[in-house]
Amino acid sequence: MLDDFLIRAALGGVGLTLATGPLGSFVIWRRMAYFGDATAHAAILGVALAYGFGVSVYAGTLAVALAMALTVASLSGRGHAMDTVLGVLAHSALAFGLVAASFFSGLRVDLSAFLFGDILAVSRTDLAVIWGGSALVAAVLAWRWQGLLTATVNEELAQASGLDPRRERLVLVLALALTVAVAIKIVGALLIAALLIVPAAAARQLARGPETMALAATGIGALAVLGGLQASLAFDTPAGPSIVAVAAGIFALTLLLRRAG
């Protein structure tokens, strides 16, 4: 069954939505969209370093994404203007990653796959990494769900309830870093944030509560993956951008449905 590359691609994409659905909901609630961009752009530097040191791309991407996430989380607690900090870090990390990649001839050839994704090349090993990483992110979010929600709604209320808002923020940024590392081969560094945000934004138009929004975002993400793969096959378009395009179409449809209702 898994010898069919389209089935592997579909399984990989659907597995990724287990993480991007609920995590994307928190990204929207906390207005962390630019944070997702910064972490995703840093992933290219991780890819270059992984090639340079001869380690797994997933390991290199995760290490740099974690470093970026922890750096931003640390700076956010010191009163720095976050839009400026994220802008500087995001574009600097992407630039350094592209410069570093230019020193490796093999990576220069494959760089577009890491920028825009190569879901059709997902292997059985990739499936294990994707489903394992997504399941871990989903489990952590489920475990910390109530605390994360409370800290998102009101940090003072969270403190009064005995919660540490900084710890909850750290849980989110670590989950985001792991998701970026898992997602880079599917949709690429430039489209990871879109897969996090667009399905969750579409779900927000329809859902009436946080749990239903997270579930709806997961379902919409899975539908976008399957629809994007079908569109890619039918029109011979890049799979990663096709997935995001279908997600954008679903978002537009939910806007029309909400206005009509």
- pLDDT tens per residue across span 225-235: 999 999 999 99
* Mean pLDDT (the chain, rounded): 88
pLDDT of residue 98: 86
Give residue-wise pLDDT tens across range 6-17. 899 999 999 999
Domain that holds residue 121: 5-260
The enclosing domain of 224 has a CATH number of 1.10.3470.10
Give residue-wise pLDDT tens across range 98-111. 888 888 776 665 67
Q: Contact 146/162 with Cβ under 8 angstroms? A: no
Is the pLDDT score of 78 beyond 80?
no
Is the pLDDT score of 93 beyond 70?
yes
Number of domains in the chain: 1
For 69-104, b where at least 16 C-beta lie within 10 A, e where not — what string? bebbbeebeeeeebeebbeebbeebbebbbebbeee
Q: Which amino acid is at 155?
A: E
Is the pLDDT score of 1 beyond 70?
no
Encoded tokens for 194: 């879109």
What one-character DSSP code corresponds to residue 120?
Answer: G
Give residue-wise pLDDT tens across range 132-166. 999 999 999 999 999 999 998 888 888 888 888 88
pLDDT of residue 82: 66
Across 12-21, 108-117, 226-235, 236-245, least confident range: 108-117
